[in-house]
Amino acid sequence: MRGLVVLVTLACFATAQHQALIDYLERRLLTIEDRISLWHEQTARYASELRELKKQMVSHLENLDKEKESLRMNLDTVGTRVDRVERELDYLETQNGAQPCVDVDDKLIEQQVTLVKEKQQSKYLKLTDCSDMISSIKAMKILKRVGGPKGMWTKDTSRPSGKVYIFNGTSEDTIKEFASVQEFSRSLGLSQSTALKLPSTWSGTGHVVYNGYVYYIDQPEEVMVVKYDTRNNSVTDRAVFPVQDHVPVYSLNPETVMDLAVDEEGLWAIYATKQNERHISLAKMDANSLDIEQMWDTNCPRENAEAAFVICGTLYVVYNTKQPGRSRVQCVFDVNEMVTSEDAPLVYFPKRYGSHSSLKYNPKEQLLYAWDDGYQILYKLLMKKKLEI
């Protein structure tokens, strides 16, 4: 009987423990269910917020696409307007032409020596039957970038070798020489060139190489043209230019007091003086003796001029702005009076880096060798006959 009581007691105790465990587990399950419910609510809220954020992002992206398309259309419109304005400016400048000629002051005529007066008044005798003039710039090739922002480079086309000569800077006594344009283009810089030491310092960027001679400007006190033989490395001749009171020929390149040029007719000098300082003057020189054959006062202003060159006896003056922009040929002077600035086409150069410090014409190749902010550039010219105007 006693054993039975013990068994009943143990059974009751086990049942109580089992019920307590079941109650504990139920409470834990309820807690877990509450947490799961809370997680579901939070997840649903986060999902709703993410969907709302997605809608907002899609809306913003659509607006950005619309604004991008609108901006692109506006840019296209601006580009079209710029092109139209440029064409209208070209048309207006072509219609208006260059500034009219200024009569030479009587005092200037009195100051000129008799020889100079005769040469100014006489009719120019052409050496060739060349009658080409520029129609447009056909192409541009950026060949190299060596040296400083200002300088001059050219090629002597009168000799089969076709050597390239580099005048780096605006005042130096050494010229860099390359065997050809290809060698210059493939070189790593001026260190691979041959150095030609001159007997005196050249000044400005107005030098040329012609028939195996370097013609450079030396300016100790007076403006002097020096003829240097590249074959035997010696000075063949030198001559003081017979004009007093020189001023820089181009207002945008004040280092250049005189600019020498070569065309089909030979050697030319482009210069300016205080007596006629608003405009550029031109002289035909004898390449052998450095004598002045004839002189002209042109109608081309010095103001905003950056460079010039001569083709078939016609002077082309290139203009720019003080803040470098797009260069253009805006004034033309023909010594044979076949072309005027009003008749000549307004030629714009392709957009580049800054402004030209020199432009040298090659008659055989019909190329312009240009120096633009340290870049050596070739411009291919498209020609037409003067009589077709």
Sheet containing strand 151-155, strands side by side:
151-155, 164-168, 171-178, 194-203
**Mean pLDDT along residues 103-115:** 44
pLDDT for 241 beyond 80: yes
CA–CA–CA angle 308, 314, 319 (5° rounding): 30
pLDDT digits (tens, 9 = 90+) for 2-19: 666 666 666 666 677 777
**Which pLDDT score, from 0 to 100, does residue 205 have?**
95
- pLDDT surpasses 90 at 198: yes
Cα–Cα distance, 296 to 179 (Å, whole number):
37
Lowest model confidence (mean pLDDT) among 57-71, 110-124, 168-182 = 110-124
pLDDT at 222 over 90: no
Q: Which of 143, 210, 147, 150 is nearest to 183 (CA)?
A: 143
pLDDT at residue 1, as a whole number: 65
Q: Assess whether pLDDT exceeds 60 at residue 26.
A: yes
Here the tokens at position 204 are 């400005």
Q: 176-201 burial, b for 16+ CB within 10 Å, e for fewer?
A: bbbeebeebeebeebeebeebebeee
**Lookup: tokens for 362:** 């090659």
Please state the rounded mean pLDDT for residues 225-242.
92
- What's the rounded mean pLDDT across residues 190-201? 90
**How many beta carbons lie within 10 A of that of residue 381, not counting itself?**
21
The strands making up 266-271's β-sheet, listed across from edge to edge, are 259-263, 266-271, 279-285, 292-301
Which position has the higher pLDDT, 28 or 108? 28
- pLDDT tens digits, 123-144: 666 767 788 899 999 889 999 8
Token pair 């035997």 in the structure block, residue: 232
The tokens describing 45, both together, are: 């809220």
Please report which confidence band the pLDDT of residue 161 belongs to, taking 50, 70 and 90 as the band edges. low
Name the pLDDT band for 104 (thresholds 50, 70, 90). very low
Q: What was the pLDDT predicted at 277?
A: 84
Mean pLDDT of the chain: 83
> Which pLDDT score, from 0 to 100, does residue 124 have?
67
Phi, psi (degrees; rounded to nearest 5) at 328: -150, 150
Residue 244 has pLDDT above 90, yes or no: no
Residue 166 has pLDDT above 50, yes or no: yes
- Rounded percentage of the chain residues whose pLDDT exceeds 90: 46
**pLDDT for res 160:** 63
For the stretch 254-283, pLDDT in tens is: 999 999 999 999 999 999 998 888 999 999
Predicted local confidence at residue 111, as pLDDT: 47
Q: What is the rounded distance in angstroms from the CA atom of residue 161 to the CA atom of residue 360?
A: 18
Reported confidence tier of residue 96, pLDDT bands at 50, 70, 90: very low
Which of 2.30.30, 1.10.287, 2.60.40, 2.120.10 would CATH assign to domain 105-388? 2.120.10
Each residue's pLDDT tens digit, 295-305: 999 999 999 99
Provide the pLDDT for residue 101.
37
pLDDT value for 266:
92
pLDDT at residue 215, as a whole number: 96
Residue 326 pLDDT exceeds 80: yes
Predicted confidence at residue 77, as pLDDT, reads 74
> Which whole number is the average pLDDT over 111-125?
53
Tokens of 372: 């633009």
CA 127/CA 240 separation, integer angstroms: 25
| pLDDT score, position 100 | 37
Name the band, by pLDDT with cuts 50, 70 and 90, for residue 318: very high
Write out pLDDT tens, residues 37-94.
Answer: 888 888 888 888 888 888 888 888 888 888 888 887 877 777 666 656 665 555 454 4
